[in-house]
Amino acid sequence: MVDQKPESAKMPLRYTGLLPQEEMLEIGKRQKKLIIGIPKENHEEENRIPLTPEAVEVLVNNGHDVIIESKAGEGAKYSDTDYSERGGFIVDNKQQTLNADIILKVAPLHPTEIKNLKGNQLIISSLQLYNNNGDHIRNLINKKTTAIAYEYIRDEFGRYPVMHSMHAITGNTAIIIAGDLLNNNNGGKGVMLGGISGITPTEVVIIGAGTAAEFAARAALGFGCFVKIFDTSVHKLEQLQQNLGTRLHTSIFHPQVLQRTLKSADVVIGAVNLHDSGPRYFITEEMVTEMKKGSVIIDISIDQGGCIETSEYRTHKNPVFIKHGVIHYCEVNLPSRVARTSSIALSNIISPVLVNIGNSGGIKPFLKANVNVRHGVYLYNGILTNEYVGNILDIPAKDINLLMAAF
C-alpha cells in the first residue's frame, strides 16, 4: 500500500523550493550597470591613472563599461592595447569620457572638464584642497555632482588607505633619490647611502613622524643608515618606533637640538603634515647654512608649502637646486615619479569600491551602507557635505546623513 501524505504536508516543500529563486531575482534587480569614464590627465606633473588594465577587466567581467581616453595610461607605461585587450573602450574624444555616469581621475578635474560635464554625475578624484581657491567646488556644485575625494576615504580600520599608500611610496622614493643625489655624478659628497663595515654609516634626519616619515625611516634603516627622527608629538614618535619594531634616536622638536643634529646630517627628509598645528618652517635658512656641503635635503611637504625655509616649489623637470652648498630636491608629486607602482596601489583601493557600487544598485544605496566611503564624499547632488572644506572655502555645508535621507 502506498503511503500518501496529506496535501498540507507537501506545501511547505513547494514554497521552500521557490524562495531561493525569488531572492535571486531580487539580487539581479539591485545590480546596476556602471558607465565609467577615465579622461587623460592634463596636468604635466601627473603620470598616474586610477585603474590598471587588470582592474578594468574585473569591472568589465562584472557587467560594467569602462571608457578610456587614448593614451591615458602612457604615463604609467600602460598602452591603449593593454586596456582594449581587457575589455576597455578606447576613445580619442575626451568628451566621451566626460559623458560617463562615473568619472575617475587622479588630479582634480580641469575647469574646462567641469564645464563639459553633463551634470548629475559621480566624480572620484583627489581634491587637493591646499591648491583650491573654491571655484573648483562651486563649479561642481553648479553641475549637481556627487564627488568623492581620495584623501578622505576611510577603511574599516579607520585609516585613509589612498593617502597611506601614497605616503608610503613617497617615503620610500625619497630615500632612493637621496642615495642618488649623494654620489659624485650629482654633485654630492660622494658617499654611499648606508655604510659598510669599518665606515661610519650615513646619517639621515627625518622631520615628522607620519606615514611618509615611517617608510622613509624603514628604507633608510634597510640601507644601514643611522636614523634620527624629530616631531612635535611624543605619541607619534612612540607609535612610529613601535611600528618599526626597533629602537631609534627620536626627539621632540626643539630648535637648538635640531640645529646641532643638522650639522652632522648627510640627508634631511622634511615629512611634516602642515595641516597639523605647529611652526611652518621646522628648519630655518640659518640652520641650512650650517649643514655640511654636499649634504641633501628632500622636502616632501613641498606640496603643502614646504617645512624647510630654503625649499622651492619645483616640478618633475627641474626638481634639484643648490643653496648654501646643500643639494635640495623639492618635487611636488613624488608618487607620480613611480607612476606604475602608484597606479597599482590606487587601483587596488578604488576598483573594489566601483564593483560594490554596482552590486549595491548605484551610488546612493552604496553610500547608505558604507560609512567609510561616505566619509570621502564632499559633494552630494551638488550640495557641499564636508564641514572642514566649507570652513576653508567659506561655503555652507550640510550633513550628508540628513541629505541622503531626504533624496
CATH number of the 30-152+339-406 domain: 3.40.50.720
Question: Degrees (nearest 5) of the Cα angle 154, 155, 156?
Answer: 130
The mean pLDDT value for 242-249 works out to 88
pLDDT for residue 309: 95
pLDDT digits (tens, 9 = 90+) for 336-356: 999 999 999 999 999 999 999
C-alpha cell of residue 75: 604615463
**pLDDT per residue over 195-239, tens digit each?**
788 888 999 999 999 999 999 999 999 999 999 999 999 999 999
* pLDDT-above-90 percentage for the chain: 73
pLDDT at 278: 53
**Angle 234-244/211-223 helices, nearest 10 degrees?**
40
Instruction: Look up residue 280 and give its three cell numbers.
Output: 611652518
pLDDT tens readout for residues 302-336:
988 899 999 998 888 899 999 999 999 999 899 99
| Mean of the per-residue pLDDT values of the chain | 89
Angstrom distance (rounded) from CA 64 to CA 343: 20
DSSP string, 302-369: GGGT-SBTT---B-TTS-EEEETTEEEE-BS-GGGGGHHHHHHHHHHHHHHHHHHHHHHTSHHHHHHH
Residue 276 pLDDT level (bands cut at 50, 70, 90):
low
Q: Which three cell numbers stand for residue 269?
A: 627628509
Q: What is the mean pLDDT of residues 366-378?
A: 94
Mean pLDDT of 359-374: 93
pLDDT band (50, 70, 90) for residue 58: very high
Tell me the mean pLDDT in the region 29-50.
90
What pLDDT, on a 0 to 100 scale, did the predictor assign at position 388?
87
Q: Say whether 163-332 and 30-152+339-406 share the same fold.
A: yes
The burial of 385, by beta-carbon neighbours within 10 Å (0-12 exposed, 13-18 middle, 19 or more buried), is given as buried
Beta-carbon count within 10 A of 360 CB: 18
Which of 115-119, 121-125, 193-197, 370-374 comes out lowest in average pLDDT? 193-197
Does 118 score more than 50 pLDDT?
A: yes
pLDDT at 14: 36
Which cell numbers hold the place of 139?
Answer: 563649479
pLDDT value at residue 391: 86
Q: Which helix (H) or strand (E) holds 11?
A: helix 7-30
Indicate if the alpha-carbon torsion angle 118, 122, 128, 134 is positive or negative: positive
Nearest by Cα to 331 from 322, 321, 341: 321
For 121-133, the pLDDT digits (tens) are 999 999 987 767 7
Integer Cα distance of 150 and 350 in angstroms: 9
Could you tell me the pTM of the whole model? 0.87
Look at residue 275 in the predicted model and tell me its pLDDT. Answer: 67
Largest CA distance in the chain: 107
Mention every residue, 6+ apart, whose C-beta is less than 8 A from residue 91. 67, 68, 69, 70, 97
Q: Is the pLDDT of residue 26 over 90?
A: no
When computed from its CA atoms, the radius of gyration of the chain, rounded to whole angstroms, is 26
What's the CATH fold of domain 163-332? Rossmann fold (3.40.50)
Please list the residues that pair with 269 across neighbouring strands. 206, 298
Give the pLDDT confidence of 262-272 residue by residue, as tens digits.
999 999 999 99
Q: How confident is the model at residue 22 (pLDDT cuts 50, 70, 90)?
A: very low
Question: Mean of the pLDDT values across residues 377-401?
Answer: 90
In the prediction, which pLDDT does 11 show? 38
Average pLDDT over residues 268-278: 78
Domain boundaries, the chain: 30-152+339-406, 163-332
Asked if pLDDT for residue 1 goes beyond 70, the answer is: no
**Mean pLDDT on 136-146:** 94
Given this model, what pLDDT does residue 12 score? Answer: 39
Instruction: Give start and end residues of each alpha helix (H) in 182-267.
Output: 211-223, 234-244, 255-262
pLDDT tier at 16 (50, 70, 90 boundaries)?
Answer: very low
Model pLDDT for residues 153-197, shown as the tens digit of each residue: 999 888 999 999 999 999 999 999 999 999 888 778 888 998 788
- Which positions ≥6 away from 74 have C-beta within 8 Å? none
| pLDDT tens-place string over residues 394-403 | 888 998 888 8
pLDDT digits (tens, 9 = 90+) for 73-106: 999 999 999 999 999 999 999 999 999 999 999 9
